[in-house]
Amino acid sequence: MTPPKQHDERTLQNETSMVPVGMRVAAAWSWRMAVVLIVSAMLIWLLSQVSILLVPIMIATILASLLRPLVKKLKQIGVPQGLSVAIAEVGLVVLVLGALFLVGRQVVVGFSDLSQQAIKGLIQIQEWLNSGPLGLSNDQMTEYLNDALASLQNNSNAILSGALGVGSSLTHFSVGLLLTLFILLFFLLEGQDIWAFVVKFFPRRARPAVDGAARRGWTSLGNYARVQILVAAVDAVGIGAGAAIIQVPLALPLGVLVFVGSFIPVVGALVTGAVAVLLALVANGWVNALIMLGIVLLVQQLESHLLQPFIMGRAVSLHPVAVILAVAAGSGVAGILGALFAVPLLAVANSFIRYIANRGWEHDVEIGQKYGIPQLVPDGGEPTAGPPEPTPATATSPALPEGESRD
């Protein structure tokens, strides 16, 4: 008689064999993917709750990858480390404040001329509403305007709450700015020590892989930031100079806006280009706006067909489709901040995963010397790093006199 336990096992095997192999594989993938998605959603939710800390850390990391080479060069010429970090960070603050001051002056000067041109544009619109296909009389337009004002008064509470929300956002921005500068200071001063402390949280066997992959990701992040600054500068100079040539007001502030917007791939270029065309339309008419549109399209074609493939592609090795999908996903999850950080995070993740998949620590001389790992060299070469291999004469027995053999 078959024992009950064996009978149950055979029944289970028979029932399992009745399920097609494809269905079993799909079920195995499904529950694993479900676990990954649930954990990812929980992680994103937790990170969103500490965004006031997470965003300054991410911005400080990008800025540190930019300023780290400058700090190294200053140290190489004999400047102390603390002074090198102070020069780099204070120089960054002075540069940003100087640009904001210059742009602010241009905006104040240009708005007086622009306001007069905007009034003329409104008068032309009013004349078109009177004599155009709509045929609106002055009384009708006055009635519509009064209705709009009444709607604003009825929604005063919502407007007030929105203003209070802006004030709260400004407070968060100020706190985040101070945190960013504070974190950046210590990233530049003690970045190596901080990372060495973080690596110790991983198992000992995993530390070479994590350390090497993170260093590759750091290199990709620095390359992305430097190349993105170059691309943004080309866009800003091209559109700003074109606007100045065709006498569009606020050309310098427009160039700065294009520079900032270029850090959000795809979306930033579209928004800032639309602002440039709209500004030309309000100030100088539709002919000038069409010329401005041609300039914007020319600069963006130069960026997409020359700068992005040959410079950005080599720097971060990301396909344009991956960039667009990352920006779309980032903006859907975290809005503007998500679109801003999506591509650098993807670049770091790409380098990290490639390093792990290729077992890069087995060929990384720096990691091999740090952790004592013999390096694999093609064509049967000798190890390039790691502890020296003991020779037969020094490993287990003393050296033999010259001319004698162990055989």
Tell me, letter by letter, the H, E, C secondary structure of 328-373: HHHHHHHHHHHHHHHHHHHHHHHHHHHHHHCCHHHCCHHHHHHHCC
Most confident of 163-167, 262-266, 358-362, 368-372: 358-362
CA distance 293 to 9: 73
Query: Which long-range contacts does 288-296 make (Cβ < 8 Å, 24+ apart)?
Result: 288/246, 288/247, 288/248, 291/246, 292/242, 292/243, 292/246, 292/248, 295/238, 295/239, 295/242, 295/243, 295/246, 296/239, 296/242
The answer to whether the beta carbons of residues 210 and 245 sit under 8 Å apart is no
Burial (0-12, 13-18, 19+ Cβ within 10 Å), 5 = exposed
Q: How far apart are CA 375 and CA 385, in angstroms?
A: 5
Rounded to whole angstroms, the Cα distance separating 132 from 129 reads 5
Contact 183, 60 (CB under 8 A): yes
pLDDT exceeds 50 at position 391: no
Query: What is the spatial distance between Cα 268 and Cα 276, in angstroms, rounded to a whole number?
Result: 12
How far is it, in rounded angstroms, from Cα 356 to Cα 363? 12
Q: Who wins on pLDDT, 134 or 184?
A: 184
Contact 304, 265 (CB under 8 A): no
Q: What is the pLDDT of residues 177-218, one digit of tens each?
A: 889 999 999 999 888 889 889 999 999 888 999 999 999 889
Could you give the angle at which helices 207-245 and 286-302 cross, rounded to 10 degrees?
Answer: 150
Smallest Cα–Cα separation from 329: which of 353, 345, 305? 345
**Higher per-residue confidence, 209 vs 401:** 209
CB 339 within 8 A of CB 323: no
Query: What is the pLDDT confidence band of residue 38, given thresholds at 50, 70 and 90?
Result: very high
Three-class SS state of 248: coil
Task: Provide mean pLDDT across the span 88-107.
Answer: 83
User: Is pLDDT at 278 greater than 70 in this prediction?
Assistant: yes
Mention every residue, 6+ apart, whose C-beta is less than 8 A from residue 110: 249, 250, 253
- Judge whether residue 404 has pLDDT over 60: no
Q: Specify which of 92-96, 272-276, 304-308, 362-366 reaches the highest per-range mean pLDDT.
A: 92-96
More confident residue, 32 or 285: 32
- Say what the pLDDT of residue 87 is: 92
Say which range, 102-111, 203-212, 244-253, 364-373, has the weakest mean pLDDT.
102-111
Q: Which pTM value belongs to this model?
A: 0.68
| Residue position matching structure tokens 């850390």 | 57
